[in-house]
Amino acid sequence: MPMSNNVQTADWKAEKHVPAIECPDAVKPGEMFEVKVALGKAAEHPNTTEHHIAWIRVFFRPDGDKFAYDVGYFAFNAHGASVAGANKGSVYTHYTSAFMMKVDRPGTLHAVACCNIHGLWESEKRLALK
Ligand code: FE2
């Protein structure tokens, strides 16, 4: 069974595991723009030692290309763990990240989030050129 069969999709407005991708709908070729990926915009995902979002990875597939490019990997490593026990720590990373990128062709952004117990969840967003 291909790995892709293990990546689930849903609308981020209805499913708390799906990352929302925020960026302009259209950008100028070669001009940097910001992309924000985050969960919890519609429904909060737990952020505990036992249950949390471990990472979000972002890919871009330009129209006409066979392969997608890996454009970002964002790991969220603090979830309340401490020597006193689970959820006794004072540091929690939130599952939100932003980065800059540029493209010279339209295409599709794909974001994949990894919940430590509920697996992989994907969303996508079209990106046009101005
Ligand atoms: Fe989960």
Measure 123 CA to ligand 1 centroid, in angstroms: 16
Query: Does residue 130 form part of some domain?
Result: no
Tell me the residue type at 89: G
Q: Is the model more confident about 13 or about 84? A: 84
Looking at residue 42, its pLDDT comes to 78
Domain span holding position 26: 3-108+116-125
Measure 59 CA to ligand 1 centroid, in angstroms: 22
Mean pLDDT of 76-105: 97
Q: Which residues are part of the catalytic machinery?
A: 15-17, 45, 51, 115, 118
Q: Is the model more confident about 129 or about 43? A: 129
Q: What CATH number does the domain containing 21 carry?
A: 2.60.40.730
Measure 23 CA to ligand 1 centroid, in angstroms: 25
Query: Does residue 25 form part of some domain?
Result: yes
In this predicted structure, the answer to whether residue 127 has a pLDDT above a threshold of 90 is yes
Query: Does residue 41 form part of some domain?
Result: yes
State the Cα–Cα distance between residues 59 and 19, nearest whole angstrom. Answer: 13
Its pTM stands at 0.94
Query: Does residue 101 form part of some domain?
Result: yes
Measure 72 CA to ligand 1 centroid, in angstroms: 21
State the Cα–Cα distance between residues 60 and 99, nearest whole angstrom. Answer: 13
What are 30-83's pLDDT values in tens digits? 999 999 999 977 789 999 999 999 999 999 999 999 999 999 999 999 999 999
Beta carbons of 43 and 16 less than 8 angstroms apart: yes
In this predicted structure, the answer to whether residue 89 has a pLDDT above a threshold of 90 is yes
